[in-house]
Amino acid sequence: MIELRKIEWPPLLLGGNVPRWRQLLDVGLTLLAWGVLFWMMRYTLALAQDFLRPPHFEFSSMSPPNWLELAYRLSPFSRFIAALLLWLLFWALVRRRYLRATEPMTQPPPLSIAAQAADFGLSEETVAPWREARILVVHFGADGHPSHGDVRLRGSPP
């Protein structure tokens, strides 16, 4: 039988314990995404460079794009966007009476510390700091109720 390595629980990847291969993978995929983006925009970036270098605001080494051809190629997308906009506007007008007729739900009153502590079966002094914590690890007992909690700071080891 193969012994599997025990996984630390919870499996959090905090800033200090991210594996080196994960960091390299993140950097590599980010650089790859930026490279693909620049490669896809290479002609546009070259046009912008030619337009902005001296003599300024003139195309000196490249010809300007054919605006009519560009508009012709983009016209199906423009029509699709216009159709989506009209569809959204139509349903907003049709449903406006229904949306205005529904009353917003009233918020329930805030839960008191005493009620929360009684629900957990703990003292109010134990539960009060938990409500202020940004990160709280709650440990449960065998009965399913919280036994104690550890207040953690962001980036602190588990």
- Whether the CB-CB separation of 48 and 57 falls below 8 Å is answered with no
Pairwise CA distance, residues 8 & 33, whole Å: 32
Q: Where are the domains of the chain?
A: 15-100, 113-152
| Averaged pLDDT of the chain | 86
Q: What's CA 145's distance to the chain center, in Å?
A: 33
pLDDT digits (tens, 9 = 90+) for 129-144: 888 777 888 888 888 8
Q: Which residues contact 150 (CB under 8 A, 6 or more apart)?
A: 136, 137, 139
Cis-peptide into 55, omega within 30 deg: yes
pLDDT digits (tens, 9 = 90+) for 12-29: 666 667 788 988 999 999
**This model's pTM is above 0.75:** no
Query: pLDDT band at 155, cuts 50/70/90?
Result: low
Pairwise CA distance, residues 89 & 83, whole Å: 10
pLDDT over 70 (residue 49)? yes
- Whether the CB-CB separation of 101 and 108 falls below 8 Å is answered with no
